[in-house]
């Protein structure tokens, strides 16, 4: 089915799912109706009435649409992961193409994609297709091969994966395909690396234009394209093609951008096609659960809402997949509360107000483990 035939408004089956979920044991956050409708308040402690600021008039800021990445639910079957996210009230999912969920190299990819599309429709979930699987192309090289590899055949393997991702995204009516540049290979100068990146992306941008799906490049710490400035370098080198968009990871902004995360959002607004979100500390590329890093989230969410961005804002916790359901359950109330703070006046110390909504990370089996993203 074409993306035009399955618009977000056509996902009408969510209502029956909401009825079923409401009768289930109380989740952390009740499912909402069609995407973009009003959300119910999260359970848990509320701010003290004497200290909570007054709410701004309804409609001051448009609601954001939150998702959770399947790379943080790798121990769940894909159908179980999607059901969990719908039950918790997420608006969508960041679907990483990988062997444990939707294998982009499987011979039955088209048939499996159709089944996933039907499931997303039934649950009323939006989707972004992500391509950050660690070992999907090479069992010995993390994120290898990349678009920068010296071997043209290796680069072609990565471009083929991204071309498959674009086709999957079109079949799922996804709002973007995420990708990244890769690390500069040893012995390769940066000018050569930029040339390889531009040459590799050119046919993919044509495919993205034909599919009507933006290709959203993510600045990734340690990669050739690591910052917003690097994104603009690529954009100018390619002639500012319309299908080229930006994936903005809020944690990465905290990690290494000269601007604050909220200012990064404002600066990136014209090219923003996908957003990933998690906590992080300055100078340390480690994806952290909300409340464990240094980011002040209400200004970030306010900036996102002010841009009119209506794609998914996807929680990105790949290192916490061993306790994915736990962190999925606690991340959404945190984000919803940060949204409410963003709409209130006068300004308050948002880090203190949000602290009581940070996930209880001391629960059994929730200590982070595994390699970084």
Lowest mean pLDDT among 55-64, 96-105, 163-172, 290-299: 55-64
> Which is more confidently placed, 284 or 52?
284
Lowest mean pLDDT among 80-89, 144-153, 208-217, 250-259: 144-153
* Residues facing residue 55 across a β-bridge: 344
What per-residue confidence (pLDDT) applies to 141? Answer: 81
What per-residue confidence (pLDDT) applies to 245? Answer: 98
Pairing of strands 272-277, 177-179: unpaired
What per-residue confidence (pLDDT) applies to 47? Answer: 33
Give 27-31 contacts, CB < 8 A, sequence gap 24+: 27/87, 27/88, 27/89, 27/329, 28/88, 28/329, 28/330, 28/332, 28/333, 29/88, 29/89, 29/329, 29/332, 29/333, 29/336, 30/89, 31/86, 31/87, 31/88, 31/89
What per-residue confidence (pLDDT) applies to 62? Answer: 83
Give the model confidence (pLDDT) of 151-205 as tens digits: 999 999 999 999 999 999 999 999 999 999 999 999 999 999 999 999 999 999 9
What per-residue confidence (pLDDT) applies to 20? Answer: 30
Helix (H, G, I), strand (E, B) or coil at 184: coil
* Phi, psi of 94, rounded to the nearest 5 degrees: -90, 105
| pTM for the whole structure | 0.79
Check pLDDT > 70 for residue 5: no
What per-residue confidence (pLDDT) applies to 60? Answer: 67
Give the model confidence (pLDDT) of 279-313 as tens digits: 999 999 999 999 999 999 999 999 999 999 999 99
Check pLDDT > 80 for residue 48: no
How many Å separate Cα 106 from the centre of its chain? 24
What proportion of the chain, given as a percentage, has pLDDT over 70?
76
Q: How confident is the model at residue 339 (pLDDT cuts 50, 70, 90)?
A: very high
What per-residue confidence (pLDDT) applies to 238? Answer: 98
* Secondary structure E strands in 43-124: 65-69, 92-96
Q: How far apart are CA 19 and CA 26, in angstroms?
A: 13
Helix and strand totals (H; E) in the chain:
11, 10
Mean pLDDT computed over 14-35? 31
Q: How far apart are CA 93 and CA 85, in angstroms?
A: 8
Average pLDDT of every residue of the chain:
82
What per-residue confidence (pLDDT) applies to 278? Answer: 98
Residue 260, token pair as written in the block: 């604050």
Query: Which secondary-structure segment (H or E) carries 229?
Result: helix 228-237
Count, residues in the chain: 373
Mean pLDDT computed over 233-243? 97
Check pLDDT > 90 for residue 101: yes
What per-residue confidence (pLDDT) applies to 343? Answer: 86
What per-residue confidence (pLDDT) applies to 373? Answer: 56
Q: How confident is the model at residue 133 (pLDDT cuts 50, 70, 90)?
A: confident
Check pLDDT > 60 for residue 347: no
Q: Which of 59-63, 97-101, 140-144 has the highest mean pLDDT?
A: 97-101
Mean pLDDT computed over 27-39? 30
């Amino acid at each position: 089915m074409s993306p035009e035939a399955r618009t977000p408004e056509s996902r009408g089956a969510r209502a029956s799912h909401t009825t079923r979920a409401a009768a289930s044991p109380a989740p952390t956050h009740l499912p909402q109706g069609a995407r973009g409708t009003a959300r119910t308040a999260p359970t848990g402690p509320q701010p003290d009435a004497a200290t909570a600021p007054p709410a701004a008039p309804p409609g001051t800021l448009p609601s954001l649409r939150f998702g959770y990445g399947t790379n943080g639910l790798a121990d769940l079957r894909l159908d179980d992961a999607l059901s969990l996210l719908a039950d918790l009230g997420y608006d969508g999912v960041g679907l990483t193409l990988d062997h444990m969920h939707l294998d982009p190299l499987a011979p039955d990819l088209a048939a499996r994609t159709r089944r996933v599309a039907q499931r997303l429709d039934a649950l009323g979930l939006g989707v972004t297709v992500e391509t950050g699987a660690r070992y999907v192309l090479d069992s010995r090289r993390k994120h290898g091969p990349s678009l920068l590899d010296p071997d043209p055949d290796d680069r072609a393997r990565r471009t083929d994966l991204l071309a498959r991702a674009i086709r999957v995204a079109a079949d799922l009516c996804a709002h973007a395909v995420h990708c990244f540049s890769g690390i500069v290979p040893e012995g390769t100068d940066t000018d050569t690396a930029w040339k390889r990146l531009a040459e590799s992306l050119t046919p993919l941008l044509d495919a993205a234009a034909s599919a009507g799906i933006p290709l959203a490049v993510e600045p990734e710490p340690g990669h050739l394209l690591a910052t917003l400035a690097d994104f603009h370098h690529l954009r100018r080198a390619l002639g500012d093609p319309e299908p080229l968009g930006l994936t903005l990871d809020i944690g990465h902004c905290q990690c290494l951008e000269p601007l604050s995360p909220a200012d990064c959002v404002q600066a990136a607004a014209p090219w923003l096609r996908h957003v990933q979100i998690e906590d992080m500390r300055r100078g340390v590329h480690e994806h952290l659960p909300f409340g464990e890093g240094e980011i002040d989230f209400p200004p970030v969410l306010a900036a996102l809402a002010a841009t009119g961005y209506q794609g998914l804002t996807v929680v990105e916790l790949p290192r916490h997949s061993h306790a994915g359901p736990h962190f999925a359950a606690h991340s959404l109330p945190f984000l919803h509360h940060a949204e409410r703070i963003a709409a209130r006046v006068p300004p308050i110390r948002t880090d203190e107000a949000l602290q009581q909504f940070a996930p209880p990370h001391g629960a059994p089996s929730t200590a982070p483990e595994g390699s970084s993203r």
